[in-house]
């Protein structure tokens, strides 16, 4: 069934990826959730009508008692309120620590499902079935789970690895084009991080499914090396994200995440060029490719505005900022730059 990519985290698990593999969820759940009688399928108002019936039926045929829990679509599902509602549903349905839940949806559903799994009864097993490009290549694997607080996004969370991830690329056929474009911004990020044939083939317009598997493999390797982001490797996944987060905030989250990342990658390339670690030819090629895909160069914001906003991020220490840059395509490095120097970059 397609590719099987192993993530060697605290608990080792597989990402199953390929086309038309959704029906294998029954067997995978049986294998992975050996003690479970009950399964909760958590999905949202957009995805549930498309895929929940078939997923729940397959799981019932595999012998589970299945409960579908539908949450609102969008960020609202990552609120304390909806998180509490899902916990209460599991209590109402009599879930025990032996049982498990499955997130069927995009990044929001996956983050919520993982956080419920991390905290309900001090932890139950879960799996992710991502249905968006962004969640297939990023949030569905790696175990970062969480919800938002009134004070900001993802301020409450836990590391909790899934028991498995089932990424069926065929589900992407129902994804709105704007979400495909956003997801592709992250695909470009992985190509710059990995370099080699992945980068060359992407620029040459090669096969999209192969890129998804390349992205999953890259992330799986990074998480295997640095699950808790303490060893200086997982931070590479933030390439382009300093400017991207600033753009998202400045636009009140109307710029889709992956589009903001694509713009952030142009800045990452230009800053790398400024420090003499990426050639002008490579920086030009990166910018040309990203603009050719219909992404924006700066959305009308000056670099100084973006930099000021990036520095207001709670995660930044006061006198310096850590940036992921490129010491050549495929060679990410972290530069720690004084804030005054960052604000004065001639971009
Ligand atoms: N999305 C970045 C990470 O998983 O570390």
Question: Does residue 292 carry a pLDDT above 90?
Answer: yes
| Percent of the chain topping pLDDT 90 | 95
| Ligand 1 midpoint to CA 37 (Å) | 32
Compute the average pLDDT of residues 325-329.
98
**Is 138's C-beta closer than 6 angstroms to any atom of ligand 1?**
yes
Closest ligand 1 atom number to CA of residue 234? 5
Provide the CA 198 distance to its chain's centre, in angstroms. 19
Compute the average pLDDT of residues 63-76.
97
**Is 234's C-beta closer than 6 angstroms to any atom of ligand 1?**
yes
Q: Give residue 175's pLDDT.
A: 95
Q: Give residue 316's pLDDT.
A: 59
| Ligand 1 midpoint to CA 94 (Å) | 33
Select 177-206+226-343's CATH number: 1.20.1090.10, 3.40.50.300, 1.20.210.10, 3.30.465.10.
1.20.1090.10
Q: Give residue 207's pLDDT.
A: 77
The closest of 290, 332, 291, 3 to 194, measured between CA atoms, is 332
Q: If phi over 0 gives left and psi between -120 and 50 gives alpha, with beta otherwise, what is residue 82?
A: alpha
| Ligand 1 midpoint to CA 45 (Å) | 25
| Ligand 1 midpoint to CA 138 (Å) | 6
Q: Give residue 17's pLDDT.
A: 97
Compute the average pLDDT of residues 19-40.
97
SS3 state at 146: strand
DSSP label of 180:
H
pLDDT bucket at 314, cuts 50 / 70 / 90: low
Cβ(76)–Cβ(82) below 8 Å:
yes
Question: Does residue 121 carry a pLDDT above 90?
Answer: yes
Cα atoms in the Cβ-side hemisphere of radius 13 Å centred on 109 = 30
**Is 194's C-beta closer than 6 angstroms to any atom of ligand 1?**
no
Closest ligand 1 atom number to CA of residue 235? 5
Question: Does residue 215 carry a pLDDT above 60?
Answer: yes
**Is 237's C-beta closer than 6 angstroms to any atom of ligand 1?**
yes
Q: Give residue 191's pLDDT.
A: 98
Q: 184-197 b/e with 16+ CB inside 10 Å = b?
A: bbbbbbbbbbbeee
Q: Give residue 208's pLDDT.
A: 79
CA–CA distance, 237 with 181 (Å, rounded to integer): 19
**Closest residue to atom 2 of ligand 1, CA basis:** 237
Q: 258-285 b/e with 16+ CB inside 10 Å = b?
A: bbbbbbbbbbbbbbbbeeebbeeebbee
**Is 137's C-beta closer than 6 angstroms to any atom of ligand 1?**
no
Q: Which of 130, 153, 237 to mutate to test the pocket of ligand 1 (most atoms within 8 A of CB)?
A: 237
pLDDT bucket at 155, cuts 50 / 70 / 90: very high
| Ligand 1 midpoint to CA 66 (Å) | 30
Compute the average pLDDT of residues 226-254.
97
Question: Does residue 122 carry a pLDDT above 80?
Answer: yes
Closest ligand 1 atom number to CA of residue 144? 4
Domain definitions of the chain by residue range: 3-174, 177-206+226-343
Tell me the β-bridge partners of 320. Answer: 338
State in words which class domain 3-174 has.
alpha beta
Question: Does residue 315 carry a pLDDT above 70?
Answer: no
Tell me the β-bridge partners of 12. Answer: 8
Q: Give residue 206's pLDDT.
A: 81
| Residues in Cβ contact with 53 at an 8 Å cutoff, skipping those fewer than 6 apart | none
Compute the average pLDDT of residues 110-133.
98
Domain 3-174 and domain 177-206+226-343, same fold? Reply is: no
| Residue with token string 């930044």 | 316
Compute the average pLDDT of residues 167-184.
96
**Is 142's C-beta closer than 6 angstroms to any atom of ligand 1?**
yes
Structure tokens that stand for 83 in this block: 């998180």
CA–CA distance, 268 with 286 (Å, rounded to integer): 10
Compute the average pLDDT of residues 153-169.
97
| Percent of the chain topping pLDDT 70 | 99
Compute the average pLDDT of residues 191-206.
95
Question: Does residue 116 carry a pLDDT above 60?
Answer: yes
pLDDT bucket at 210, cuts 50 / 70 / 90: confident
DSSP label of 55:
H
- Lowest pLDDT segment from 62-66, 205-209, 254-258: 205-209
The closest of 262, 266, 246 to 295, measured between CA atoms, is 262
| Ligand 1 midpoint to CA 234 (Å) | 7
């Amino acid at each position: 069934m397609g590719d099987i990519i192993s993530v060697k985290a605290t608990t080792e698990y597989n990402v199953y990826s390929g086309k038309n593999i959704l029906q294998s969820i029954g067997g995978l759940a049986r294998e992975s959730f050996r003690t479970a009688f009950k399964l909760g399928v958590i999905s949202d108002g957009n995805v549930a009508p498309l895929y929940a019936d078939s997923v729940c039926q397959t799981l019932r045929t595999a012998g589970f008692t299945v409960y579908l829990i539908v949450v609102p679509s969008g960020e609202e599902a990552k609120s304390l309120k909806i998180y509490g509602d899902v916990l209460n549903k599991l209590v109402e349905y009599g879930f025990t620590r032996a049982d498990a839940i499955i997130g069927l949806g995009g990044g929001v559903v996956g983050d919520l499902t993982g956080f419920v799994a991390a905290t309900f009864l001090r932890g139950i097993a879960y799996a992710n079935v991502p249905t968006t490009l962004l969640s297939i290549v990023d949030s569905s694997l790696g175990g970062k789970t969480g919800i938002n607080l009134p004070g900001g996004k993802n301020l409450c969370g836990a590391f909790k690895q899934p028991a498995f991830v089932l990424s069926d690329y065929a589900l992407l056929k129902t994804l709105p084009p704007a979400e495909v474009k956003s997801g592709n911004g992250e695909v470009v990020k992985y190509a710059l991080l990995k370099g080699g044939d992945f980068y060359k083939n992407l620029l040459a317009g090669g096969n999209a499914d192969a890129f998804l598997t390349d992205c999953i493999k890259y992330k799986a390797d990074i998480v295997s090396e640095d699950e808790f982001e303490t060893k200086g490797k997982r931070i590479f996944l933030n390439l382009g994200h300093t400017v991207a987060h600033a753009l998202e905030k400045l636009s009140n989250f109307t710029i889709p995440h992956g589009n903001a990342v694509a713009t952030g990658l142009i800045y990452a390339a230009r800053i790398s060029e400024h420090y003499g670690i990426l050639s002008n030819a490579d920086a030009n090629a990166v910018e040309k490719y990203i603009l050719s895909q219909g992404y924006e160069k700066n959305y009308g914001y000056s670099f100084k505005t973006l930099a000021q906003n990036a520095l207001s991020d709670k995660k930044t220490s006061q006198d310096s900022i850590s940036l992921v840059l490129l010491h050549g395509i495929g060679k990410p490095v972290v530069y720690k730059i004084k804030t005054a120097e960052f604000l004065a970059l001639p971009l």
